[in-house]
Amino acid sequence: MNDKVKPQHLERKAVVYVRQSSAYQVAHNEESRRLQYAMRTRLEELGWREIEIIDDDLGCSARGVIVRTGFDRMVADVCLGKVGAVATRELSRFARNNREWQQLMEVCRMVDTLLIDVDVVYSPRLSNDRLLLGLKGSFNEYELDLLRQRSLEARYEKARRGELVVSAPVGFLKTEDQRIELHPDQRIQERIRLVFHKFLELGSVRQTLMWFLQEDLQLPANAQDGTVTWKRPRYSTVKHLLTNPIYGGAYAFGRTEHGTRLEGGQPRKRIRRRPREEWISLIPRHHEGYISWEQFEQIQVAISVNNNRADRPGAAKRGPALLAGLLRCGRCGRKVTVTYTGGGPRYLRYCCVRGYLDVGEPKCISLGGVPVDQALSREVLRVVQPTAVAAAIEAHQHVDQQREAAVQALEHDLQAAQYAARRAQKQFDAADPENRLVADELERRWNDALQRVRDVEARLDEQRQAQSQTAAATLDEFANLAEELTRVWNDPQSDARLKKRIVRTLIKEVIVDRDDERHEVKLVIHWQGGVHTELRVPCRRRGKANCTSPDIIEAVRGLARIGTDREIAGYLNRNDLRTGRGNRFTQERVTSLRTRHGIACYDPEQRQQSGWLTLTEAAAFLGVSTRTLRIAAEQQKIPGQHPLANGPWIFIRADLQTDEARKFVEYAHRPNRRTPAVPNPQQKHLGFSGT
């Protein structure tokens, strides 16, 4: 019997504390665990009869980060005075950090509980033993830190050479010689590449996710057993694929940092993403990736710009506000917000109210958004039109590949589903028919696999049918693209997000301010190349009603020469034009418009004297067909006016009596001419009415 073991110690129970640091040690280091359980024999030799073994913490580290229920229960029993001694094979099993070690030693000193290892019995009430226990606790913590530091330094040095491959994400395989290779499954490769292609097309992580959900396409994921499973995509999954450098062919290590913080008195692990300059290793072009490193960098810039912060425009939204996120107040420097009042996009306004909302400052400026968007659209079209044809031809070269993206993905899904069905059939055929418990389950799995094949085939047929109904554009259709770009841009059916992405590609920021003396809005456009352009847009004065577009007024001025107000209203409505208040035109509204702007009403006698003719009348006057005359007017061989795209032509009799007009008529009537006045019947045209 040890002289430190007193009767008061033997009256209480003894505790044997058993712990191993990891699950690997629990599974493989069985001898170490047997030696720890053998401490029960040592306690029996010291005189204890009531012995409790606490092994709840097998597989838990003693660094103090993980909550150890067994250790906490042991300390609670010691505090209650129920324990005479706590024993373990070596004292480092109790704690590897001074906080928990000092807590245990102080509690044992207060209640007179002994600490026992394989060699020595310690009494915390003795100063020499307490000093020795304190030194051993410090050595235990230092030893763990030293081992961890050596291990980390070796890992970091290996990572700096790009040779440390812990695990491979989905789409890659880790080879035996510590290299990274693409997964051999072409379906997995195609689906991951499709994520990057759709982001480059749509420009947003959220829109990429919505496209996959709309097409009902799944993404691969690594299971815990190392196999690849297919799951419905989530936002985190898509963003992880787009932001992981390994998919750009780069080796990266140390992108995250693990720490500890206290929450509710308990330590909790914390993971922080480091900025790129703090990464331990980054080696571009380390292995074959799904995209190039340049494309990966381009994607990171796009994702960063999409974050809606004070210094960034944010991702393009669905709203019609063309400059949302790009406008900055010229007075306070804050970003201008977008508001919609009344009946929809016609009542779009840009307001600088962040100072008012945040700190109660007076509101800066507020201005109508539609005139500003229209002025900036004209400026953007002026810049874009010279390169519109080249860009359209380049896009046409990739249009077939974009159309085939969803079809190819479904074809690969169909191949995988057919393979699963054949495998289920083989399992069913190999089963004993008399064992119905097994045969019924295998038959159910086979039926589910066949149903999956039918579902994928149906979706593939729908996709192919939809693709066949959309005719591919030809290069000949791009001949007049530069002229049609304005019409397409102003079409209400045009995608607002696409127009916003075009504007964000060209423009970095727009500084806006109001000039109240001149009743103008001042816009300073900061283009991406560093050039600045100033625009001034007239703004509506207070109390002044919305005005009809000047283009409509000029069209009415020309149409009033050949038609009545009722006919003019029909022409305007046919072109889907509206008044300044957004109403459709009627005879009364056309009359009011003419009166306001001093346009004379239609007079048949005045028309006869001035010689104004419609297309039909002018063709009869020249003795040619209306089609021949319209083509000549479009080619500017015969002078003519066309106020509305879907409206009548206007000619003057005097212009039809010139020498050029006579030569054209003679040429049109010439027999056996090589170049007919009437174009090739195969040529496509809009076929507007000749009236």
Q: Which residues are annotated as catalytic?
A: 21
Q: For 354-409, what is the HEC assignment?
A: HHHHHHCCCCCCEEEHHHHHHHHHHHHHHHHHHHHHHHHHHHHHHHHHHHHHHHHH
Cβ atoms of 281 and 253 closer than 8 Å: yes
Cβ atoms of 258 and 271 closer than 8 Å: yes
Cβ atoms of 233 and 191 closer than 8 Å: no
Task: Dig out the tokens for 223 from the structure.
Answer: 């299971």
User: How far, in Å, CA of 571 to CA of 645, rounded?
Assistant: 10
Antiparallel, parallel or unpaired: β 172-174 and 337-340: unpaired
The answer for residues whose C-beta is within 8 angstroms of residue 94's C-beta and 6 or more apart is 17, 62, 71, 86, 88, 100, 101, 104, 115
Q: Which residue has the tokens 């809009």?
A: 686
Residue 11 phi, psi (nearest 5): -70, -25
Q: How many CB atoms lie within 10 A of CB 562?
A: 20
Closest CA to 90 of 26, 143, 145, 154: 143
Angle between helices 205-215 and 186-202 (to 10 degrees): 130
- Please, is 458 exposed, middle or buried when counting C-beta atoms within 10 Å of its C-beta (0-12, 13-18, 19+)? exposed
Sign of CA dihedral 397, 403, 406, 407: negative
Amino acid at 166: V
Cβ atoms of 192 and 217 closer than 8 Å: no
Q: Which DSSP string corresponds to 517-564?
A: TTTEEEEEEEETTS-EEEEEEE-PPTTPPPPPPHHHHHHHHHHTTTS-
Counting runs of H as helices and runs of E as strands, what totals does the chain give? 24, 22
Indicate left, alpha or beta for 497 from its phi (over 0: left) and psi (-120 to 50: alpha).
Answer: alpha
Angle between helices 550-559 and 587-597 (to 10 degrees): 100
Find the length of the chain: 691
Amino acid at 558: G
The answer for residues whose C-beta is within 8 angstroms of residue 484's C-beta and 6 or more apart is none
CA 110 to chain centre: 60
User: How far, in Å, CA of 264 to CA of 262, rounded?
Assistant: 6
Q: What is the dihedral of CA 376, 382, 384, 388, to 10 degrees?
A: 130
| Three-state secondary structure call for residue 628 | helix
User: How far, in Å, CA of 237 to CA of 483, rounded?
Assistant: 43
User: How far, in Å, CA of 95 to CA of 57, rounded?
Assistant: 12
Task: Dig out the tokens for 231 from the structure.
Answer: 């799951």
Cβ atoms of 122 and 85 closer than 8 Å: no
| Three-state secondary structure call for residue 270 | strand
Closest CA to 586 of 562, 602, 565: 565
Task: Dig out the tokens for 559 from the structure.
Answer: 């149409």
User: Would you give the DSSP letter of residue 164?
Assistant: -
Cβ atoms of 278 and 156 closer than 8 Å: no
| Three-state secondary structure call for residue 309 | coil
